[in-house]
Amino acid sequence: DTIEWSRGHSGKPPAAGRHQALAGLDARDITAWFGDHRVLDRVTLFMRAGEVTALIGPSGCGKSTFLRILNRMHELVPSAAMAGEVLLDGQDIYAASRRITEARRQIGMVFQKPNPFPAMSIYDNVVAGLKLTGARVRRNDKDDLVEECLTKAGLWREVRDRLRQPGGALSGGQQQRLCIARSLAIRPRVLLMDEPCSALDPTSTRVIEETIAELVAEVTIVIVTHNMQQAARVSNRCAFFLAEQGKPGYIVEHGPTDAMFNEPQDPRTSDYVHGRF
Ligand code: ADP
Ligand code: MG
């Protein structure tokens, strides 16, 4: 196999003073249920600040569930329950005194299927990200924010002349970048991405991978992907999830991406990353 180790940071420092410090996300002993169906069993993973962590593993082993637990989306499902702790920069996001909106404001999410508000303009789609914070932003600041977020999402040059067109008029890859721009509007400290390229063509996928490589300088990234080439290209570390027949998912092994691909500890990791699963 020829896996290209091209990942790396853009080398650009984050814009001075405009962002909070990079924050790591520490998931400890996470167990998750839907009703009495246990789908994750004591998953512990530290996702380091300033890195891209890739969650890999077969379908149904709980990767999406784990990702949703990281920003308290899991609790929106009435039958869902979880145990364990999620610490953002050392602070428990599930602590009784903490509000759910506070977690979501700091931890953005991008989904497999691009979901911009289709009838809303490109401009308003980005601004819509702010609604969550309740922040009042002046018009000029909004213009700056829209340009900044679209630039970071790699979309500005393509849409700068048609910001008033509906988000739904963009191509799939552009819509996904618009969703990334929208989630950046809240200036999250962590960006969770659940198979963000699965619905996209290879060219759009490449553009998003380049965007991820740039963004990680200012936002900690956790990405679920089924594409091992992509995991190799974009991530610093990988966690391999598995669920044996009828059992809850767990992490078989995690570590630096090159070690996971080239010298995994567990033969199942080797089989999975080399497509022998
Ligand atoms: P993955 O993302 O790795 O494919 P998921 O987290 O989506 O895995 O699913 C893990 C398990 O949880 C699966 O058995 C799935 O059927 C179950 N599951 C996921 N979402 C729900 C839900 N909303 N209600 C009930 N079961 C669910
Ligand atoms: Mg999933």
Note the pLDDT tens digit of each residue in 59-88.
999 999 999 999 999 999 999 999 999 999
- Predicted pLDDT at 245: 93
pLDDT at 102 exceeding the cut of 90: no
Bridge partner residues of 224 (DSSP): 55, 194
Mean per-residue pLDDT, 192-211? 95
**Of residues 133 and 52, more confidently modeled:** 52
Full-model pTM: 0.91
Ligand 1, residues at Cβ distance < 6 Å: 34, 39, 59-65, 77, 79
Looking at residue 5, what is its pLDDT?
32
Q: Give the pairing type, strands 80-88 and 25-34.
A: antiparallel
Name the band, by pLDDT with cuts 50, 70 and 90, for residue 134: low
Report how far ligand 1's centroid is from the alpha carbon of 74 (Å): 11
- Gap between the Cα atoms of 50 and 219, Å rounded: 6
Q: What pLDDT shows up at residue 103?
A: 86
Give the strand order in the sheet containing 37-47. 37-47, 25-34, 80-88, 91-92
The token duo for 230 is: 């992509």
Q: Any residues with CB less than 8 A from the CB of 136 and at least 6 apart, and which?
A: none
Write the CA distances from 17 to 13, 21, 89, integer angstroms: 11, 9, 18
* Cα distance between residue 5 and residue 195, in whole Å: 20
Distance (Å) from CA 244 to ligand 1 centroid: 14
Taking the CA atoms of residue 263, residue 57, residue 25 and residue 40 in that order, the dihedral angle to the nearest 10 degrees is: -120
Give the mean model confidence (pLDDT) for residues 188-211. 95
Query: What is the interface pTM, i.e. ipTM, of the complex?
Result: 0.98
Ligand with the closest atom to the CA of 63: 1
Task: Look at residues 243, 246, 224, 277 and name the one whose alpha carbon lies nearest to residue 63.
Answer: 224
**Cα–Cα dist 239/255, whole Å:** 7
pLDDT of residue 19: 56
Residue 28: count other Cβ atoms within 10 Å of its Cβ.
14
What DSSP character marks residue 18? S
DSSP state at residue 23: -
Q: Is the pLDDT of residue 155 over 60?
A: yes
Does residue 16 carry a pLDDT above 60? no
If DSSP codes are grouped into helix, strand and coil, which group holds residue 141? helix
Q: What percent of the chain has pLDDT over 90?
A: 81
The mean pLDDT of the chain is: 90
Atom 25 (ligand 1) nearest CA? 34
